[in-house]
Amino acid sequence: MRGAVGDFMILDAVRESKGTAIAVEEDRIRDWMFEGTRMTGISLCPEAGACVGALESLSAHGWISPTDRVVIFNTGAMQKYPEAMASDVPVLDCHAAIDYEALG
């Protein structure tokens, strides 16, 4: 199995800063993406959503205190991950005639 492109740099940074790394529940990432977006007004990528979850967990376990400053890098945007976005957008059949009145 191949690691992330910068996995060794991330691990070095965690070790040198005496930081920590944790795993989060993958099925909650979408919720954290929307929570981060709601709090900041900036759409978050799944990786940043996972960081919101990690921050939540680390705070709950006392690793991070309410007065600590935390930076989460948002390396993408939710729009790049349409599978992660809720969507009520109608899908048009490209072979059918378009009913423009029904589109409003």
Tens digits of residue pLDDT in 53-89: 999 999 999 999 989 998 888 888 777 777 776 666 6
User: Is 65 within a domain?
Assistant: yes
d(CA 104, CA 89): 13
Number of helices (H), then strands (E), belonging to the chain: the values are 4, 0
User: Is 1 within a domain?
Assistant: no
d(CA 23, CA 48): 13
User: Is 16 within a domain?
Assistant: yes
If one counts the domains in the chain, the total is: 1
What domain range includes position 17? 7-103
| Structure confidence at residue 23 (pLDDT) | 94
Calculate the average pLDDT of the chain. Answer: 85
User: Is 17 within a domain?
Assistant: yes
Which one, of 9, 69, 77, 22, lies nearest residue 50 by Cα? Answer: 22
- Yes or no: say if 44 and 74 are a contact pair by the CB < 8 Å rule: yes
Is 92 a residue whose pLDDT tops 80?
Answer: no
pLDDT band at 97 (very low <50, low <70, confident <90, very high): confident
User: Is 2 within a domain?
Assistant: no
Task: Tell me what the mean pLDDT of segment 15-35 comes to.
Answer: 92
User: Is 67 within a domain?
Assistant: yes
User: Is 93 within a domain?
Assistant: yes
